[in-house]
Copies of this chain bind each other. A is one copy, B any other.
Amino acid sequence: MTHPRVTLDDMDYLSAGKRARLYRMLYEYGPGHGTLMVLPIDQGLEHGPRDFFGNPEALDPEFQYRLAVDGHFSAIALQIGLAEKFYRTYAGQVPLVVKMNGKTEIPPDDEAFSPLTGTVKDAVRLGADAVGYTVYVGSPAQDRDFLQFNQVRVEAEALGMPVIVWAYPRGAFVEAKGGRDSLWAVDYAARVAQELGADVVKVNFPRIKAETQSLHPKPYDTLTLSPEAAMRQVVASAGKTLVLVSGGAKKGDEDLLETVHLSLKAGVTGFIFGRNLWQRRYPDALKMTQAITEAIRDDVGAREASPSANVRAGTRA
């Protein structure tokens, strides 16, 4: 059964500015039809150059920019430095998402916090169509994180800039309750994004792991859901917030496409895959991009064939 996907019409609350920018990404670029395929390249800050040794060409951000243009992505997402220095050449050819915060992986993640590295005004100046912000859900530093996000949200609202939240469960207490990729954690993170006012939320595909499930709060400690049903739950918790599934570390091709299919059926709006794409040589990266695009379009086709699948639960009631 195909689960409904949130549409721009469901998001009737959007200001003209937010709607115009989201519309461009959802309909004018990328796979279109209300879907998103975003290419992230913030790993150089988050992990350092170590991620680029497998495919050394990818060390140069031009690699990802060209891939974003040639692969017809909905947007490319990166830090202010890479936006400032490289977007000009590709300006207008692919929408830009500027990350507002980031950190290195050198200090441990126990009290994860991602400080501001850019401003919404920077994003406007560079012609961006959205800003990105990482919330470390459950971190002991959530105080500062929420306060900082609130400022970004207010500035984005004032400037008509959509906000994509990287909703990452993180920190000592998340691990103590069963881990960052668990359904419990991802589901909570999706809801937090919606509660804090994200327009789009990026989540990991949720996992139910037998070994750590008993650490979760009720009823997650005993829930048994298929992967697709778990993803559906997360999509439901995100409510009117568009859901992007992230790829994480590089996987096998079949695994990746399986994630794509399950996610699409579960009603996500799209994908934000980085290492799974640009850790390949250019032609392979383009090929995989195309495979994902086709999967998205197939899903769009299926949905257009049964329009009722596209009505959100909430408005159905």
Contacts and interface: CB of A to CB of B under 8 A. Distances in A.
Interface of A: 11-13, 42, 44-45, 48-50, 53, 57, 59-63, 66, 78-82, 84-89, 102-104, 106-108, 113, 115-119, 121-122, 137-140, 142-147, 149-150, 153-154, 157, 169, 171, 173-174, 177, 184, 187-188, 190-198, 217-220, 233, 236-237, 239-241, 313-315, 317
Contacts of A108: 173
Query: What are the 8 A-B residue pairs with the smallest beta carbon separation, nearest first?
Result: A106-B138, A48-B188, A62-B314, A60-B314, A81-B197, A45-B195, A115-B146, A79-B195
Which of A60, A140, A193, A236 has most B Cβ within 10 Å? Answer: A60
A304 B82 CA distance: 29
B195 A150 contact: no
A60 B191 CA distance: 10
A239 B52 CA distance: 13
A163 to B, nearest CB: 10
B61 A197 contact: no
Contacts of A188: 48-49, 104, 106
Contacts of A218: 50
B45 A192 contact: yes
B196 A81 contact: yes
A249 to B, nearest CB: 12
Contact of A61 (B12, B62, B314): B314
A149 B118 CA distance: 10
B197 A84 contact: yes
Q: Is the interface of A mostly helix, strand, loop or mixed?
A: helix
A53 B174 contact: no
Given A85-B13, A119-B150, A198-B81, A138 B239 contact: no
Given A57-B317, A115-B144, A192-B45, A137 B106 contact: yes
Contact of A150 (B118, B153, B190, B219): B118
A118 B241 CA distance: 18
A82 B122 CA distance: 28
Given A60-B314, A196-B81, A48 B184 contact: yes
Contact of A317 (B63, B116, B171, B239): B63
A252 B195 CA distance: 29
A265 to B, nearest CB: 19
A190 B45 CA distance: 10
A12 B48 CA distance: 25
Contacts of A121: 154
Contacts of A85: 11, 13, 194, 197, 239-241
Nearest to A223: B53
A98 B11 CA distance: 19
Contacts of A187: 48-49
A106 B173 contact: yes
Contacts of A53: 219
B119 A60 contact: no
